[in-house]
């Protein structure tokens, strides 16, 4: 059973989240990062509606121009985190990767170093989510096996290496260069 995370429980670490209509939250900047202190990574879902690209597009630290939205799993800090991302552009699909930089904790310290893309045991090709329609990205961890659903279809299954697991670390969300209406749900604390 997942429960909606109100804005008051989210710690925004980059960009902004604004209250929206109903229980929705709004993202309207090129970069947004947030975590839910006290949460765990067993089961988490992000319901979102893509409102379009942001007016200003900002390249990632690698220089790549990307539009994406996703979940932060085991979000120890900016240098040590597991991501389940739904990429929209330049190449749509689900990508799971982790960033590991022992002894480093801020983006200033680690930059874009320490990333590893995880190879799935099973995945399906996906198109970019259609703008103006509700979509769901859900991740569930069972032991070290991660399953990621996109709109109720199992889209990615694979093992997460031990070094990417941090059981006490919270979950969160991330977006790059997209405007969104969203709602994050986690297991109750």
- pLDDT tens for 79-120 read 999 999 999 999 999 999 999 999 999 989 998 999 999 999
Mean pLDDT value across residues 162-178:
94
Beta strand spans in the chain (E): 3-4, 11-14, 18-19, 25-27, 31-36, 43-53, 67-77, 80-89, 93-99, 115-117, 122-123, 134-142, 145-150, 153-159, 171-176, 178-186
Q: Supply the pLDDT for residue 167.
A: 85
- 30 has a pLDDT exceeding 90: yes
pLDDT range class, residue 11, cuts 50, 70, 90: very high
Q: Supply the pLDDT for residue 61.
A: 83
- 189 has a pLDDT exceeding 80: no
Taken as a whole, the chain contains a residue count of 189
Does 90 sit behind a cis peptide bond, omega within 30 degrees of 0 on the bond before it? yes
Q: Supply the pLDDT for residue 40.
A: 84
**First and final C-alpha spacing in the chain:** 12
Of residues 41 and 15, more confidently modeled? 15
Global pTM exceeds 0.75 = yes
Q: Supply the pLDDT for residue 63.
A: 86
Mean pLDDT value across residues 145-173:
95
In order of start, what are the domains of the chain with their CATH numbers? Answer: 3-186 (2.60.120.560)
pLDDT range class, residue 187, cuts 50, 70, 90: confident
Q: What is the pLDDT of residues 112-149, one digit of tens each?
A: 999 999 999 999 999 999 999 999 999 999 999 999 99
Q: What is the pLDDT of residues 38-62, one digit of tens each?
A: 998 889 999 999 999 999 999 988 8
């Amino acid at each position: 059973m997942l429960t909606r995370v109100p804005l008051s429980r989210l710690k925004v670490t980059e960009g902004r989240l604004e209250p929206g209509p109903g229980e929705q939250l709004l993202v309207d900047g090129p970069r947004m990062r947030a975590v839910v202190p006290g949460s765990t990574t067993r089961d988490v879902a992000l319901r979102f509606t893509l409102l379009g690209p942001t007016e200003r597009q900002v390249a990632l630290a690698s220089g790549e121009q990307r539009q994406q939205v996703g979940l932060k799993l085991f979000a120890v800090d900016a240098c040590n985190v597991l991501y389940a991302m739904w990429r929209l552009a330049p190449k749509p699909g689900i990508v799971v990767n982790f960033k590991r930089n022992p002894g480093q904790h801020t983006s200033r310290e680690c930059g874009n170093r320490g990333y590893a893309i995880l190879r799935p045991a099973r995945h399906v090709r996906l198109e970019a989510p259609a703008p103006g329609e509700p979509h769901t990205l859900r991740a569930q961890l069972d032991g070290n096996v991660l399953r990621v659903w996109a709109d109720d279809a199992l889209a990615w299954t694979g093992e997460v290496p031990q070094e990417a697991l941090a059981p006490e670390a919270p979950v969160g969300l991330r977006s790059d260069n997209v405007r969104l209406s969203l709602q994050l749900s986690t297991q109750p604390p």
